[in-house]
Every structure is written in C-alpha cells, then in structure tokens.
C-alpha cells in the first residue's frame, strides 16, 4: 500500500509538471521526500528498491526520464542519493550499478560513480547490464579520444591501450550485448585507420582509409566520458 501511495505521488507530480505548474510540482516532490524520510527504514528500503528496479531495469517510468532535463525530480534524486550511498559503501547489488546509472553525471555523484561501477563488476552478483555499462564506459573513452580525428587524438597512447585491453578482457570473461560489442569493433577499426594514416605520413585523405576499412563515417563523442 505504501508503494501505491508513493507511485500516486509521482503521477501527481507528473500531472502538475505537464500542465506547466513546475513550482507546485517541485514543492509537492519536496514533501514526498520528507514523507519518505519519515517512514521506518524497512519501508523506505522496500519502496526505493521497487522504484529503482522499475526505473532502471524495467523502463516503467519513462515519463520521469522524458521530463525537463531528462532526469528525475531534484528532491527525489537527492533523497535517493542519500539512500543509495551507504548501500554502495556496503557493496550491495544492484545498488552499485544503480548508482552509476543515476549519478554518473551528478555534480558530486560523479566522484564515486565509476568506483561503484568497478565494484559492481567485481561483485559475485554482477549482472549483464553491469557488464555492458562497464564495457561501454571504456568504449566511450575511445570515442572521446577520436573526437578530433584526423587532426589528432585527445588520449595518450597508454590510455588507448588500456581501454582496448579492458574491453578485450571483459569480452574474454563475459558475453557482451550486441550493440556495445559492435561499437568496440568499430572503434578498433577507426583507431587502426588513424594509426595507418599517421604511419603513411598522411599522404592521402583520412576518408580514404575509412573507405578501405568500410567505415563510411565515424561517430566521436564531443564530451568527456564518465570514467
């Protein structure tokens, strides 16, 4: 029954937000956070575990993902941060992974998100989503490094080698989902093109190397990865 009340509060928030009554919606969400904090610990745990399972793993709260800045309401986000942190320090799963998913772009959460993702991967309860997220974090770094191709590479050679090695190690230990695995193969070919382009003295266009490698165009991240 308590989770039903919590979800009702979220739907009420969304209804107000979609009507443009953002101040009232945010005020109501602050009250919801206060209400949650006032519940016994076991009831808070039950509500938050069900909500985060739905939010992170079952995509049942797309409305919250799609609002405003694409993040959950501030008051709820900060409350969940305070709830998750001690559980991550105790190395609970899937809380370690949830933390990374929710707070890798958070002003203070970013300081811990990568650490918790690494610990999630090392956990006996490591799941497929954790594997894919960790794998993608290294692929994202390769994407960031390729941002200025063919004029230069943002990453040092040692960092590139480490990212490649980490991805290969994950692939050797786990099945990685199709799209992350595809992205890695793509960047391996892209970096090979770039290295050959440099080794040949840049005597022909970089696009020529991409064409030879059957890469019609390339995608490079324009913002730093979260690791």
136 and 97 co-located in one domain = no
Give the pLDDT of residue 59.
81
Give the pLDDT of residue 221.
57
Residue 97 lies in a domain: yes
Give the pLDDT of residue 69.
64
Q: Tell which of 95, 122, 149 closes a domain.
A: 122
106 and 9 co-located in one domain = yes
The parts of the chain modelled with pLDDT lower than 50 are: none
- Please state, in angstroms and rounded to a whole number, the distance separating the CA atoms of residues 102 and 84: 10
Q: Tell which of 74, 94, 122 closes a domain.
A: 122
- Over the stretch 53-81, which tens digit does the pLDDT of each residue have? 999 999 888 888 767 666 789 999 999 99
Q: Residue 102 sits in which domain range?
A: 2-122
112 and 132 co-located in one domain = no
95 CB burial (10 A radius; 0-12, 13-18, 19+): buried
- The model's pTM is 0.89
- Over the stretch 114-135, which tens digit does the pLDDT of each residue have? 999 999 999 999 999 999 999 9
Give the pLDDT of residue 68.
65
35 and 106 co-located in one domain = yes
Q: Are 100 and 133 in contact (CB under 8 A)?
A: yes
Residue 201 lies in a domain: yes
Residue 222 lies in a domain: no
Measure Cα distances from 18 to 11, 15, 68, 159 in Å. Answer: 10, 5, 10, 44
The number of C-alpha atoms within 13 Å of 64 and in the hemisphere containing its C-beta is: 24
Give the pLDDT of residue 47.
97
Give the pLDDT of residue 65.
75
Number of domains into which the chain is organized: 2
Whether the bond into 150 is cis, omega within 30 of 0: yes
Residue 225 lies in a domain: no
Whether the bond into 206 is cis, omega within 30 of 0: no
Residue 73 lies in a domain: yes
87 and 140 co-located in one domain = no
114 and 135 co-located in one domain = no
149 and 115 co-located in one domain = no
136 and 91 co-located in one domain = no
């Amino acid at each position: 029954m308590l989770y039903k009340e919590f979800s009702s509060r979220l739907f009420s928030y969304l209804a107000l937000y979609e009507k443009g009554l953002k101040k009232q919606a945010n005020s109501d969400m602050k009250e919801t956070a206060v209400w949650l904090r006032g519940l016994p610990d076991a009831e808070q745990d039950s509500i938050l575990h069900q909500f985060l399972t739905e939010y992170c793993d079952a995509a049942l709260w797309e409305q919250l993902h799609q609002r405003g800045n694409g993040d959950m309401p501030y008051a709820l986000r900060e409350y969940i941060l305070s709830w998750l942190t001690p559980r991550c320090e105790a190395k609970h799963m899937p809380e370690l992974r949830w933390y990374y998913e929710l707070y890798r772009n958070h002003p203070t959460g970013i300081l811990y998100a990568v650490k918790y993702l690494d610990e999630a991967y090392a956990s006996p309860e490591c799941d497929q989503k954790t594997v894919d997220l960790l794998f993608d974090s290294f692929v994202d770094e390769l994407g960031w490094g390729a941002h200025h191709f063919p004029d230069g590479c943002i990453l040092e050679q040692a960092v590139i080698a480490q990212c490649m090695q980490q991805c290969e190690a994950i692939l050797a230990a786990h099945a990685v989902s199709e799209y992350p695995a595809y992205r890695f193969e793509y960047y391996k070919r892209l970096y090979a093109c770039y290295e050959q382009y440099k080794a040949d003295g840049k005597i022909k266009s970089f696009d020529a190397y991409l064409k030879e490698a059957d890469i019609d165009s390339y995608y490079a991240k324009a913002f730093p990865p979260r690791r």
